[in-house]
């Protein structure tokens, strides 16, 4: 029983750390990057937050900010298509 309780606590701790990491990235974004992030669909926002590099490491906040910077150069109606094109043909690992 204690082992199950410990396992549950550890899994919640890891989930909380992942959420905290995502929140830290949003705090580091510029106003323009936040606007670009807000213009993405909820599914695309989740994909950006949960993004991993090819080596399996989580994408850094700087990487996410750079991606949002690139997407900000596209009109809002083209951002989803551009985001998916970047995911399909570049450097990120998709689950």
**The pLDDT value given to residue 90:** 66
Q: Poorest-confidence range of 7-16, 25-34, 38-47, 56-65?
A: 7-16
Model confidence, pTM: 0.66
Position of tokens 């323009």? 32
Question: pLDDT, tens digit, for every residue of 64-73?
Answer: 999 999 999 9
In a 3-state reduction of DSSP, which class is residue 73? Answer: coil
Burial class (CB in 10 A: 0-12, 13-18, 19+), 82: middle
Question: pLDDT, tens digit, for every residue of 18-41?
Answer: 444 444 788 899 999 999 999 999
Confidence of residue 92 (pLDDT cuts 50, 70, 90): low
Q: Are 53 and 85 in contact (CB under 8 A)?
A: no
In a 3-state reduction of DSSP, which class is residue 49? Answer: helix
pLDDT at 16 over 70: no
């Amino acid at each position: 029983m204690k082992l199950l309780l410990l396992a549950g606590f550890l899994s919640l701790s890891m989930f909380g750390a992942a959420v905290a990491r995502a929140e830290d990235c949003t705090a580091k974004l510029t106003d323009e990057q936040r606007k670009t992030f807000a213009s993405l669909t909820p599914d695309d926002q989740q994909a950006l937050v949960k993004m991993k590099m090819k080596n399996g490491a989580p994408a850094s906040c700087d990487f996410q900010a750079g991606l949002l910077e690139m997407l900000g150069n596209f009109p809002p109606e083209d951002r989803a298509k551009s985001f998916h094109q970047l995911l399909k043909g570049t450097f990120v690992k998709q689950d």
